[in-house]
A and B are shown apart, each in its own frame.
Chain A
Amino acid sequence: MIYLDNSATTKPHEDVLKTFHTVSSKYFANPSSIHRMGGQVEDLLTKSRQQIADLLGVGSQEVVFTSGGTESNNLAIKGVAEQYKNRGKHIITTQIEHPSVLETCRHLEQMGYEITYLPVNDKGEVSVNDVKEAIRPDTILITIMHVNNEIGSVQPIEKLAEIVEQYPTVLFHVDHVQGFGKITIPYGHKGIDLITISGHKIHGLKGSACLIKKQHISLSPLQHGGAQEDRVRPGTENVANAVSLAKAIRLALEEQKNYHQLQELNQTIREELKNYLQVTINSPKHGAHHILNFSVQNFKPEVLIHAFSDEGVVVSTKSACSSRQNEASHVLKACGKTDEDASAAVRVSMNANQSQDDINAFISAFKKIMSKYEKVMG
């Protein structure tokens, strides 16, 4: 099987698995225990935190381990909203965020917060000027994703950071889940306050993730209990996951050097798809190379996915987090696509080391499917 659904989840790296295996079997004690066995485990946790911080160029106390990207996004948004509600209750986001951001914002709306959902252009990009104009005296948070998970559009994070930096009472959270290991953002930038990174999208393990939280920020915790993670995130630390996340982050940054090769692969697929009149390419031309979203007229995406499966190629409908719903993609609709195209989207998502052979296999599968289809349709 050729796996082209790396934006849903990735196959864990061998070294990550080995790390997890070693730590979970040899260092099982509770890092909060004061005996030496606990102390050893605490050391491992401290080292992982330091390693991640060094790789990203932030402080080690700025790395908060969580159970996943969803929790990190929830912690960043709810945490800021609650902590800084006396400053104001206005939050700015975009219409194309991941459900873990959008649903959290909708929840806050019910709690009396005001949310501005900024539109995007037909390329899925938010306008820097729109963001600037949306900022009000009572704005406390801007939360904007880096790389969109459905179409791969890339937001101008650095430019946004520069703007936000001019507003000391406005915090900036970046959902970096799909961008990490592909496109770097300036982690240490003073204008960026919170960054979400998830392990299982970068060949790490599910349940391993972190939130980068700059030192000057306090977050109201989502949960209450023990004093772990500097009181921001209680619960016995999952040290095996933390160490494996540090490993996954290191490997992802190393392999990021191969990312540019995906541009050619992306282009190869585009060239092929252009041969079919019924195909609309939904991903912007200058988006991230690893995600390519397209729709085929009169083809239900489930049908297309199963047809690909039969040819040994795995692709997906929009996002796994919402792929069980049959409704149109909120991302594509925000980009101005027709309901038809927005409901028919199929996503190819590559890892940093995807091979030309894999893409050739995808293309020949697609050709086969289309020729069968044309025969049926006559």
Chain B
Amino acid sequence: MSHIYLDHAATTPLHESVQEQMTSVMQNHFGNPSSIHFFGRDSRKLLDQARTTIAKSINAPFTSLIFTSGGTEANNLAIFGSAYANEQYGRHIITTQIEHHAVLHPCERLESEGFDVTYLPVDETGQVDLNQLKEALRDDTILVTIMSVNNEVGVIQPIQEIGELLEEHQAVFHTDAVQAYGVQQIDVQEMKVDLLTASSHKIYGPKGVGFLYKHEKHHLKQQVFGGEQERKWRSGTENTLAIAGFEQAVKVLMEERESRNTHYQALFNELIAQLEKQEMEFSINGDLNNRVSNIVNISFPKTEVEMFLTNLDLAGIAVSSGSACTAGSIDPSHVLKAMYGEEDERLYNSIRFSFGIHNTLDEMKQVAEKIQPIVERLKSLS
């Protein structure tokens, strides 16, 4: 049985051209970029090229990228790095209740160290209120970290407006753009962000690599100590193979982002149309007018998510209830909780579908057809 993979927000397969690029790099360029001989210089060149391409993709200067081992490390570096670097100006941090755990858990950790963290609520559509942010800002606020696009419901936050609001404030502005990078045009100048996180394996690149963009005016407290790589912001032999793969993924992304969005939107429309055709009861969590094209979170009343996922898996459909990092044990989503409150049944009957470049319209039809009997059966059990 062939699987229909609709879990691209968890991770994406390697793009074919990324695989080709990595195969060639693997065989021909293995030097340590810090070595001064031929093999080292050769790897350094690859690394510089990748940095150039990727920096350009977010309209940032070459020197502003810090390559990390992934999105989690980049978020940790952004949060711990700026909190410790700016402690003398205050110990207040603002974030939201719907961030990824790679943001929430560092914030909780800082709280246990005596920092004061405000977790902004969101409304039913998953939006942060700018006025609430304004009110939460204090003289001792040193960091505001708000994700660009939520990984569970796909809701877009008004990053540029927040950036403008913070322009006159001392607080460093970080955004976790892991889910945004693949579908939204990112321009760090326009967005007025100081720090921005992106990850390779969410955009058809290899796992184990990501970056933190850092505006040159900001200082971070180093987190990983050792050699002088990444201008000493992140020590360790550069993972040139993964970085070269990442570069290729970005190259293709820049060419295809628009057409991918069109494709994702068509898949979304088709999935919804087919679900309607099956005359199923469902509702979309989030904001139809303010969402990315590739993520949709759908509630199916009177179903139970854990059994639903198991049944879908048996039917060959790979989806999830939320973030893969929290999966394993299915706790109710902290994102839906923030949107609807603790008691809402949508916390227990919602599924995330996230689309990719290889999905077809016909698959959406198959998915709807396979879901229909599952939902009927689960409803009869409830």
**Interface residues in chain A, defined as those with a beta carbon under 8 Å from any beta carbon in chain B:** 1, 3, 5, 8-12, 17, 20-21, 24-25, 28-30, 32-38, 67-71, 73-74, 98-101, 103-104, 106-107, 200, 205-207, 222-228, 234-241, 302, 305-306, 309, 314-317, 319-325
Contact = CB atoms under 8 A, between A and B. Distances in A.
A325 B227 CA distance: 11
B304 interface: no
14 contacts: A11-B30, A24-B206, A32-B325, A37-B318, A68-B239, A70-B226, A100-B235, A104-B225, A107-B225, A200-B237, A207-B239, A227-B326, A320-B34, A321-B229
Given A314-B39, A320-B32, A321-B228, A235 B328 contact: no
A67 B239 contact: yes
A225 B72 contact: yes
Contacts of B22: 21, 24
Nearest to B68: A67
Interface residues of B, number: 72
B319 interface: yes
Given A67-B69, A206-B237, A235-B73, A226 B325 contact: yes
Contacts, number: 252
A35 B11 CA distance: 13
A372 to B, nearest CB: 19
A33 B36 contact: no
B234 to A, nearest CB: 9
Contacts of B93: none
B228 A324 contact: yes
B19 interface: yes
Given A5-B35, A24-B19, A225-B105, A235 B69 contact: yes
Contacts of A37: 3, 5, 7, 318
Of B34, B226, B325, most buried by chain A (CB within 10 Å of CB) is B226
B31 A207 contact: no
Contact of A241 (B23, B207, B224, B324): B207
B325 A227 contact: yes
B225 A100 contact: yes
A5 B33 CA distance: 12
A347 to B, nearest CB: 11
Interface of B: 3, 5, 7, 10-14, 19, 22-23, 26-27, 30-32, 34-40, 69-73, 75-76, 100-102, 105-106, 108-109, 201, 206-209, 222-229, 235-242, 309, 312-313, 317-320, 323-328, 330
Contact of B236 (A3, A100, A236): A100
Given A38-B318, A70-B236, A28 B226 contact: no
Given A224-B106, A235-B72, A28 B7 contact: no
A115 to B, nearest CB: 13
A104 B226 contact: yes
A321 B237 contact: yes
4 interchain residue pairs of minimum CB distance:
A226-B325, A321-B227, A100-B226, A67-B69
Contacts of A29: 5, 7, 10-11, 318
Contacts of B7: 29-30, 33, 35, 37-38
A200 B236 CA distance: 12
Given A33-B324, A100-B226, A100-B235, 13 more contacts: A17-B26, A25-B19, A30-B7, A35-B320, A37-B5, A67-B69, A68-B237, A104-B226, A224-B102, A224-B106, A225-B75, A314-B38, A320-B32
Of A11, A69, A235, most buried by chain B (CB within 10 Å of CB) is A235
Contacts of A234: 72, 101-102, 105, 325
A71 B224 contact: yes
Contact of A206 (B207, B240, B323, B327): B240
Contacts of A38: 7, 10, 318, 324, 327
Contacts of B37: 5, 305-306, 309, 314-316
A206 B226 contact: no
Contact of A309 (B38, B102, B106, B201): B38
A103 B309 contact: no
Contacts of A34: 309, 313, 320, 327-328, 330
